[in-house]
Structures are given as structure tokens and as C-alpha cells.
Structure 1
Amino acid sequence: MARFSRSDFTLESFRRQLANVDALPQLCVLGLVSGVITGAVMVAFRLLLEAGAALYMPEGNPEAFEGMEPWLRALLPLVAVSIIGTLLYRQKAAARKLGVGHVIERLTYHQGRFPMRNWLNQWWVGVVSVLGGLSAGREGPAIHLGAAASSGLGLKLRLPNNSLRVLVACGTAAGISASFNTPIAGVIFAMEVVMMEYTLMSFMPVILASTMGALVAQVVYGNEPAFRIPEVALGSLINLPWVVVVGLVIGLLAGLFIHISRSQQLQAWPLWLRLALVGVVTGAVAWWYPEVQGIGYDSVAAALNNQLELKVLLALMIAKLLITAITVAGGVPIGIIGPVLVVGAATGALGGMLGGWLWPDKAADPGVYAMLGMAAMMGAVLQAPLAALMALLELTHSPHMMLPGMLAVVVACLTSRQLTGCEGFFISSVRYGLHPLQQPLMQALSRVSVPAVMERQLVRTERIITPAHARRLLETNPIWLVIERSSSEKPVLALKAAELARWLLEHDEALGGETPPEDELIDLLEIPGQRLEMAPIALQATLSEAFLKLQADTLDALYVVHGYRPKQQRISGIITRDAIERYYHYVDPLSAESRGAEKGTEKSKY
């Protein structure tokens, strides 16, 4: 039986274990804690929405814009954009980045570290945009708030950066799960849209986080499905060609949405004009069709149950799509997944109605097409087919719709990608044809922190030493000598300890048994051997950070700095380019054994 000591359960030991690629138990613990924290944050956010709605919304319902006076609901978007423009745009540009796009950016370029100001801004911007009658969802704020809260846990505990990546995914999944009671869709969304990878080490902690997030939300709100729909079925297979046609139309609409939301012409307008356009257009449409305001889940439920008129469905398909895209292009940071689901459901319902007119005896119920359209639009806009299918399953609790759903989602995704030339909505930058998170090498290196591969056997020494001091340095069998320089402006150098041992051996042979001079000194910069220029890197850094730093500074090695106070920092190890290459390259076991034997011979020689 394995024996454990008290030191195995310390925070420092926990950090060391997390640095490795196989730290699954530790990551699962973090997933559980992250899920509870994110679930509590999501409950707080939903309670905040309900508290705001209680002030002026009919029956305190955040979705009840239809029950308001036309002038009031038309005025709300103008008030909302005025508040956002006044309070948010007075801040620095970096503080105005919110939502899912901000989460992916921080994960890609900042190792999953989130600024506190952005997190605080997300609370009130999310509430104002939804209760202010803009076409906005709550999933964007949910993902940002959950991911940043989970990342904050890792930063508070000073965990290595590779675990921060997993915590961001845990927060994302738990945020979706707690907000919509869709734990499976939360997991798939986190892996497919945010992490952009599927690995066992990430999946299990994310599953636990999503489970805990859903449980926390269910304690408060119960375990009810998002939509209650009657039992429906696709019926005749003659509907499948029509499903393809509906998927094609939805793919084209998804491409239109992405192109408008990224319009460079609109984004070049002055800020006040863009915000005014968003407020005026939303308010004007809301005067006659209040269904375009807010998240719109009440409209989705009505579409699934065939309770919406034709003109309302057309308004949701066209007006809500355009308003949401203009709002994004206008610079208002909103969640887009909720409105996208509404547009897809309306488009699908219209397709189902048209199919009923063409084939009255064979066509499926329009509610069936509303379900399929909802998933197809989400999949096409995000280029996340699995997440869309899981959302379809969990939001409607209709597993028999998965087969036509897969067909509709694939057709819509292909149409959006190939015919309209649109990548996923949140993939805004590419490198060598891939987003940085999609590059296999960077993904592999991001899973491990530098302590897992760094060489710890080193000693620090000054440049000029005596032969006696040199021999004392070699008594501990170090691999590296870290040569400290007289000035901080000069780079720190590393010399193989074997080079010094070889020089001492040759020096003793040259003396022929004679006593060396008492004042003899050794200049470690002058003895034969290769010296590596090094730059510092933090102990929490991942191998991907180390790799990029080596590439950018054209260095061969980095020294790992440990400690959080500048005057108390110490060097914990050295990471070389070869060490990184050995991590991601396959090594022949026989050649590894032969190299190990050679190293053992070399050590015994000195």
C-alpha cells in the first residue's frame, strides 16, 4: 500500500502535481470546487436579473416586454445604450472586452487570467442589456462570469498556468449548465468552442464542474426543462429533403448574421452614431413587435408549440437577426446564443409551415422544424455542431429528434462555412490557417507547466571561482552551473557541470602532481564549453509560454524563477529547448536507455 506523508497534502505539493500532464485527480478536485463557485455566481446573476425586472417589468418577468406600453418598451433600448455608452465607453478599451470572445482571447493569449474590472463590468452590462430591451442573451455574461471566477480561484492559490486553462473550461461549462440547466451542452460547448480540443485530462474535470453547476442551480430553481413541448415526431421520411432545404436557408442566414456583425463599414462609424442606431432600430421594431427584445425564450417556447402568428415569426427571423447583428457591430457587448436560438426556431417554424402547405398529408409539425432550426442556427453561427445537438437534446428533452437534427446541423454548418465563407463567430484570428488554440503543438505544450520537465539539478555560482570552490560545486552532482553576472543588464549564463569537471581533470593532468598556485582562479567564461544565454520565466508558466519565449528571443534555455517577491526570488530549474522537444517528440525506448547509460558513464567518470 502506498504511504503518504503530511507533505503530500500541502498546497505546494498540490501545485507541483498540477504541473504534470497526468494530474487528473487534482484537476477533478478543482473541477468540483469550480462548479460550486460558478453555480453560486450564476444563481446570483439570475437573481439580479429578477430583482431588476421586479422594478418595472410586468409580473417581474424579464421576458415580458409584450405586456409593457409601446412607448416604454421602445424607450428602453435608448436608455440601455445611453447607460452603456456613458459608463462603459469612458473606460479603457481593454476594460470594455466582455463575453465569450473575451474568454477565448484571455485563454489564448493570457493563459486564462482575467482582469477584475472586466469581470465587474460584465455584471451590470449583462443586466442592462437584457432588461434594457436589447436583443441580447444571458449566456455571454454567464460564460464570462463563470470562467473568470474559476480562473480567479487558480490565481488565488497560485496554481500553474496549465491548470488555469482547465479552470476556464470548467467555469465555462458550469456557467452554461447553471444558466440553462444543460450540463452536457455546457461540457461540449466548453471543449468545442472555448478550449477547441477533446482530451481526457480536460473532459473529466469539466464534466464534474458542469454537474456541480447544474446541481447548485437546481437547488434554487428546480429541475424543469427549459421548454415544455408536446410529443412530436418527424413522421414520413419525405420530410428529410425538406430538412435539408431548411438547413440550407438557416446556413445562409447564419452567414449573413456573421458578416453584418463584423461589418467594417459599420464599425468605422462614430461611437455615438452606432449606439444611436442600435437604440433607435431596436426601439422602432419593438413598438410593433416586442418579441424581438430580450433573450426571447418565451418566443422559442411559443414557436415550439405553434403559438406564434406568421408575421411574428417573420419579425423574429428577419428583424431579430438584423437587430442582434447590428447591436454586435455597434459595439454593445451582448450574448448572442439566446437570440440565435430564437432566430433559428422562428426560421424552422416558418419552414415547417411552408412544408405543411406543400405536403399537408406528409409534412411534420412546424414545432419539429422549430426544434431543428434552433439547433441548426446555433451550430452554424458557432461552428459547433456537437454543442448545438446537445443543446437541442437538453433544452427540449426530445431524443428522437437527434437524427433529423444531425442532418439539419451539418447542412447548416457546411452552408455557412463553404457558401458564405464564415468561420465560427468567436474565431476572429488565425495563424497558419488555424486559430492558436487549434494548433496541435501549442495545445500539447499548454497542458504542462515548466516544473514537469525542467532540470532541477543546478548550482548558482559567480563567474570567477577558485579550483577548491569548483570542486565543492561539483560535489552535489549538478547538471548545470548558473553563472551570475556582475550586472543585471548582462544575461544569465548556463554551463554544463560536465564541462567544468572535464576542465578540472585536464588541468590536474597538466600539473603532473604538482601543487597549483594558491592564487589560481578559474574564469567560467573562459574555460572550453558551450554557454547558454538565458532569460527568466515564471514557475507557473506552461511549456507553450516557454516555447514562444525561446522562439521570440532566439534563446536556447530559460531559468525558472520561483517566489512572488522580487528580492526573495530564487532559481528553481532550467528548461532548455531540447527538454521541450523531448516532451512532444516520440522517443525510442532503446535509444533512451542507451542515452541514459552514456549519461551514467559520464557522471561516474567525474
Structure 2
Amino acid sequence: MFKKPSIQNLRLRLAQSEALPQLTLMALITGLLAGGFLIAFEELLFFFGVVSQRALIPDHVFSTLASVESGYEALPPLVRFFSPIGGALALVLLIKSRPPKRRSFGIAHVIERLTLNRGWLPITSTITQFFGVLIALVSGFSVGREGPAVHMGAGAGSFLGQILKLPTNTLGVLAGCGTAAAIAALFNTPMAGVIFAMEVVMKEYSLESFIPVMASAVVASVLTQTVYGPNPAFQIPIIPSATPEELAVTAITAVIIGLLAAAFIQINIFAIQKRQHKVVFPLLIAGLLMGIVAVLVPATMGIGYDTIEALLIGDDLNLSFLFILLATKLVITALVIGLGVPGGMIGPSLMMGATAGACSVLLAEQFLGISATNITFHVMTGMIAMMAAIFQAPLTALITVLELTHSSQIILPAMLAIVIACLTSSQICKQQSIFAMQFMARGQSIQLSPMTQLLNRTGVASLMDSRFIRLSPDLTVDNAKAEISENIQWLVFKKDEQLYILSANTLFDSETAPAIRTIGSLKGLKRAGMISSQASADEALSIMKKNSIENLLVVSGNSEREFFDPEKSGILNKGMIDTLYKDD
């Protein structure tokens, strides 16, 4: 248990943009919280999935999440139809119980809060996301758990900073740490978790962020490996080296996947635009559509991990079925997520890519005579190409395939597939990442200048000057001079409930400070404002601009006495913030 002075010292240190040891300590705690949160989520998801199916299919063996997903296909058609509708009704009740501003979920929500709200994620939204995705997955919606897991991990990091009242500039980094921990824990791929957090969510690479994010991913991976073992998310057979003919098939497949990724993004954006801010009707439509598709193509239910595992070992290689599965999975996933079902897209994107890769090699075998014995290779490159194209995250995709396969032989083919798929989607189809397209559809801009990012990373407590004294406004200039020691640079006083901050040098200017005049009656006084010591330099600039003031009193306490305590408070003006520009 930290003592109060230690917490205060920690806050002051973390306000600086280079507080690497302290930030890494917070990242380690975030990794533990996020990893524990996700283990609890995985266990609940498996438990409720088994409970919901065991009564109807008692002979089915439930051992993994994929086995739960395969159980959907054994359910009676009427159950498959009504299960998503029931889930939609439960989601309506859950989401309608939350205020409108607390109804955003998933990775897009995390990116928005990191960019526009300095990493402050409401814990209530995180809890709603937790139960919302449980409902969606247990009822059979074609959504993933990875996006919600990122929200939960980022929420855990942000909440840690909030309860410890850490400076705002640390919240974004801790949310990024939670993001990395979530991906690392789910796939047992710590490197991919780090790169995903930096490339997709935080959108920055800096030492101050990289080390803490890495530490968080390591802790979360160790925690989940202790519980579930060291194996990655998928058991992948050894992949032989690719022949030139297989590389040609990979290139053609990547073009197709790029087109499919663009189609997926456009369908999702269409659904978002039609939904607008409504809740009830879009969710009920999503439940109805999912119910119909579940009756016709049961394999679309759930994330699709059972299909991926089957394709990796060469099972379920019916070309006609795979074509139907790919088309329905792509359309229904994009629609239900766009209509407001709180699920993710990473898992379904991997499943769609795996199916596309399998379809391509089977077509090549049928029409070109190219052997399909190395199907695992094409399934893996298809998975990674689809993930990279939808999220425009090439480095994340490359690291993911490397960690999943533990094979250096797949790096070159994977790079080929990633480059072609990303270029096809972005340059030919003019699609940005799905999150950027979602923000554009909502009329939001999430681009911050490098200087704004620097201001967000710097806490006001690291810039403030604590050399101030509080005086009475009725004090004469002569008496005020007697109160001022050599190191005092600022005078603070209240007059008519308004705060004023005055440079001490003003009193020694004989023209502006006659000895008989009180400091509260001096000419040219300008009112000042207050700001929390948790705030960032960017927040301080915003307050100054909005209220047309030049000076702020940085406060960390809740009482009048603490407000004016030089050990906890300080003075901030625009000149002090300008030093960041000069140093940068």
C-alpha cells in the first residue's frame, strides 16, 4: 500500500514526458489487471457457451472455445434462429440502460478516447462492453472477442490511472499498455500485442511508450501462459517452403483478399450510416439477419475459430461450401457490427482470410493443376493478408504470423501477401483502415499534430513553478515586499472571489507599484484560472485560450489550504509551455 507522499511524488514524476521507470511500473500493474480481466472473460465465455448448449446437445464434447463454436452447427434450426434474436433483445436492454454517451464500444472507441479524450475511458463503458460481448458471442452472433478485449484491457489501464489520480498524460500510455496486454493474452503473441497497440491504437512509436507497452504485454502473456499453457491460439502444422507456383497463387489471392477487405469495410460503413444513433431497431434487425443466416449457414455463427482450425489441417475442403461460407461470413459480420452489436472484427477477419486462402488453392488445384497439399501455407497467408488489409496494419500482421508459426520461411510469402492486399484495398479501392473509415462516416477527425501529441504526453505538474506565495489583496506594496523572500517569483491572491497571479518583479517596478498602493489595486491586473495537476499541457493551453487568460494555478488538493500549498501546487503560464516547442 502506497503512502500518500509516495503517491504524490509518483504523480509529479509521471507528469514528465520522460518518467520511464515509474511508467513501466504502472504498465506492469496494468498487464496484471488486463490479463486477469481477460482470463475471467474467457472462462465466463466458455462457461456460458457450454451451459447454453449442453442441454440441447449432450453428446457434444466441450473442451475449447472452438468446440463451443462447432456446437452451434449441431443445434436445431429453430434454436439457431431464435438465439441471436434473444441475444439482440438482451443487448437492447443492456445498452438502453446506459446513457447515450456511454454506448460506444470496441477498438474504435479506444482510439477515439486516446486521441480526443487523452486516454480517459469510462469504466462503466468497459463493464458494459464485458457483458455485451458475452451476450453477443453466447447467442451466436458472427463477431469476435478481440476488439472488446482490447476495450477491456485499455479500460483497465485507464481505470488504474484514474483511481490513483495519475496525470492525464499517462492515461493514454496505460490504455495502450492494456491494449497490448489484451492481444498478447488472447493469442499468446506478446510481440504482436505491442505492435498492434503502437500501430493501430496509439499510432506512435516512442521509447517513452514502447518500453511500458512491452512490459505490459510480457506480464499479461506470462499470466495467461501460467493458466492456459504456452501454446499460441492456433495449433499450426509445420509449413514447408513455398514453390514459385504457390507464391504466384499467393499474389493472386492477396489481390482478391484486398478487394474482399474493401467490400467488408464498405458494407460495415453502410450499416453504420443507416443505424445512425439508434439502438433498438438496428439491433433487432441484426438479430433477425443473424438468425436467418444461422439457419442457412450455421458455420457463420461465432468467431470462426473452429473453421480456422479445420482449414489449417486440411479438413472441410468442400469448395462450394467454402465459397458460400466466405460470402455469408463477410456480409453478416460487417452488417451486425455496423448495426451496433458489441463485437470485434479481428477473429472474423482471420476466419475470412483463412477461407479465402483455402478457396484460392483449391481453385488453383482444380484449374491449374497446382497441388493443394500445402494448404496450411495458403490458409495462413490468407489470414494475415485479410487482417492487414482491413486494419491497414501490415507490421502487426507480419509479427502475428511469425509468432503463430514460429517459422522464418513464411516471412517472405507473408510480406508479399500483406503488401499486395494492403495496396489493393488502399490504393485501388481507396479504402483506409476500417477504423479511419468509421470515423469519417461519423464526421470525426482523429488526426493530431506531432506538437499536440507532445503536449498530451506532458503533464502540467512537470512545467509549473512552485516558487509562489499567497498574499492578501489589501496588503500594501511595501508590506508585500517584506513578505517576499529571494526565491519567490509569483504572488497569488483572491479579490472578489476572483483569482489573480502576479509576477513578483512587478512590485519592484516603481512606476507601476507605488509603495502606498495595495497589490489588489495595481493597474494591469489580469485574472487567472485553476487547473488540476493531473491535466496535460494541451489541456492547459485549451483553458487559456477559451478563457483568454495567461496564468493558471496548478492545484492538487481539494481544500483551500491545499490549493495554495507550494509543495503541492504551482504557477503555469504560456511561456512555460512554450519551452516544449523550443526544446522539441
TM-score (norm 2): 0.90
**Structure 1: how far apart are the matches of 2:158 and 2:410?**
36
- Give the one of 543, 547, 554 matched to 1:560: 554
Query: 3-state SS of the aligned residue for 2:510?
Result: helix
Q: Please report how far the alpha carbon of residue 170 of structure 1 lies from its aligned counterpart in structure 2 after TM superposition.
A: 1.0
**Structure 2: how far apart are the matches of 1:364 and 1:452?**
61
User: Structure 1 residues 268, 169: CA separation in 2 closer, same or farther (over 3 Å shift)?
Assistant: closer
User: Structure 1 residues 220, 506: CA separation in 2 closer, same or farther (over 3 Å shift)?
Assistant: closer
Post-superposition Cα deviations, 1:32-62, rounded to whole Å, max 9, x if no partner, equal 1111111111111111011102213343443
1:451 has 2:461 as partner: yes
Query: 3-state SS of the aligned residue for 1:426?
Result: helix
Query: 3-state SS of the aligned residue for 1:185?
Result: helix
Q: Please report how far the alpha carbon of residue 338 of structure 1 lies from its aligned counterpart in structure 2 after TM superposition.
A: 0.7
**Structure 2: how far apart are the matches of 1:248 and 1:197?**
29
1:128 has 2:135 as partner: yes
1:208 has 2:218 as partner: no
Post-superposition Cα deviations, 1:144-198, rounded to whole Å, max 9, x if no partner, equal 2211122222222111111211111111111111122111111111111111101
Q: Please report how far the alpha carbon of residue 353 of structure 1 lies from its aligned counterpart in structure 2 after TM superposition.
A: 1.9
Q: What's 2:69 paired with?
A: 63
- Give the one of 35, 45, 69 matched to 2:31: 35
Q: Please report how far the alpha carbon of residue 506 of structure 1 lies from its aligned counterpart in structure 2 after TM superposition.
A: 8.4
Q: Is the 8 A contact 1:450 1:543 kept in 2?
A: yes
Which sits farther off after the overlay, 75-84 or 573-582? 573-582
1:290 has 2:298 as partner: yes
Identity of matched residues, %:
36
User: Structure 1 residues 275, 12: CA separation in 2 closer, same or farther (over 3 Å shift)?
Assistant: closer
**Structure 2: how far apart are the matches of 1:383 and 1:434?**
19
Q: Is the 8 A contact 1:235 1:364 kept in 2?
A: no
Q: Please report how far the alpha carbon of residue 251 of structure 1 lies from its aligned counterpart in structure 2 after TM superposition.
A: 1.5
**Structure 2: how far apart are the matches of 1:377 and 1:569?**
54
Gaps of 5+ in 1: 1-5, 508-515, 588-606
Query: 3-state SS of the aligned residue for 1:176?
Result: helix
**Structure 1: how far apart are the matches of 2:49 and 2:421?**
36
Q: Please report how far the alpha carbon of residue 133 of structure 1 lies from its aligned counterpart in structure 2 after TM superposition.
A: 0.5
Query: 3-state SS of the aligned residue for 2:434?
Result: coil
What is the correspondence of 1:144-223 to structure 2 with a 5 Å cutoff?
Answer: 144-223=151-230
**Structure 2: how far apart are the matches of 1:566 and 1:497?**
22
1:570 has 2:579 as partner: no
User: Structure 1 residues 30, 288: CA separation in 2 closer, same or farther (over 3 Å shift)?
Assistant: same
Q: What's 2:21 paired with?
A: 25
**Structure 2: how far apart are the matches of 1:256 and 1:132?**
26
**Structure 1: how far apart are the matches of 2:427 and 2:307?**
30
**Structure 1: how far apart are the matches of 2:245 and 2:132?**
46
Q: Please report how far the alpha carbon of residue 399 of structure 1 lies from its aligned counterpart in structure 2 after TM superposition.
A: 3.0
Gaps of 5+ in 2: 54-59
**Structure 2: how far apart are the matches of 1:172 and 1:455?**
35
1:303 has 2:299 as partner: no
CA-based RMSD of the aligned residues comes to: 2.7
Q: Is the 8 A contact 2:530 2:553 kept in 1?
A: yes
TM-score (norm 1): 0.87
**Structure 2: how far apart are the matches of 1:435 and 1:198?**
21
Q: Is the 8 A contact 1:436 1:442 kept in 2?
A: no
User: Structure 1 residues 525, 414: CA separation in 2 closer, same or farther (over 3 Å shift)?
Assistant: farther
Post-superposition Cα deviations, 1:290-342, rounded to whole Å, max 9, x if no partner, equal 21111111111212222122133213321111101110221212111111111
- Give the one of 494, 497, 505 matched to 2:504: 497
Post-superposition Cα deviations, 1:551-572, rounded to whole Å, max 9, x if no partner, equal 3334333221221357853371
Q: Please report how far the alpha carbon of residue 29 of structure 1 lies from its aligned counterpart in structure 2 after TM superposition.
A: 1.0
1:314 has 2:314 as partner: no
Q: What's 1:439 paired with?
A: 449
**Structure 1: how far apart are the matches of 2:307 and 2:366?**
23
User: Structure 1 residues 121, 357: CA separation in 2 closer, same or farther (over 3 Å shift)?
Assistant: same
1:242 has 2:252 as partner: no
**Structure 1: how far apart are the matches of 2:257 and 2:87?**
30
Look up the equivalent residue of 2:116 and give its one-letter code: Y
Q: Is the 8 A contact 1:453 1:583 kept in 2?
A: no
**Structure 2: how far apart are the matches of 1:373 and 1:81?**
31
**Structure 1: how far apart are the matches of 2:488 and 2:273?**
62
User: Structure 1 residues 68, 565: CA separation in 2 closer, same or farther (over 3 Å shift)?
Assistant: farther
**Structure 1: how far apart are the matches of 2:36 and 2:249?**
43
Which sits farther off after the overlay, 293-302 or 462-471? 462-471
Which sits farther off after the overlay, 170-179 or 8-17? 8-17
Query: 3-state SS of the aligned residue for 1:541?
Result: coil
**Structure 1: how far apart are the matches of 2:276 and 2:220?**
40
Q: Is the 8 A contact 1:278 1:326 kept in 2?
A: yes
User: Structure 1 residues 265, 43: CA separation in 2 closer, same or farther (over 3 Å shift)?
Assistant: closer
Q: Is the 8 A contact 1:292 1:315 kept in 2?
A: no
Q: What's 1:11 paired with?
A: 7
Q: Please report how far the alpha carbon of residue 81 of structure 1 lies from its aligned counterpart in structure 2 after TM superposition.
A: 0.8
Q: What's 1:579 paired with?
A: 576
Whose Rg is larger? Answer: 1
Query: 3-state SS of the aligned residue for 2:471?
Result: strand
User: Structure 1 residues 268, 33: CA separation in 2 closer, same or farther (over 3 Å shift)?
Assistant: closer
1:387 has 2:396 as partner: yes
Q: Is the 8 A contact 1:135 1:320 kept in 2?
A: yes
Paired positions, count: 565
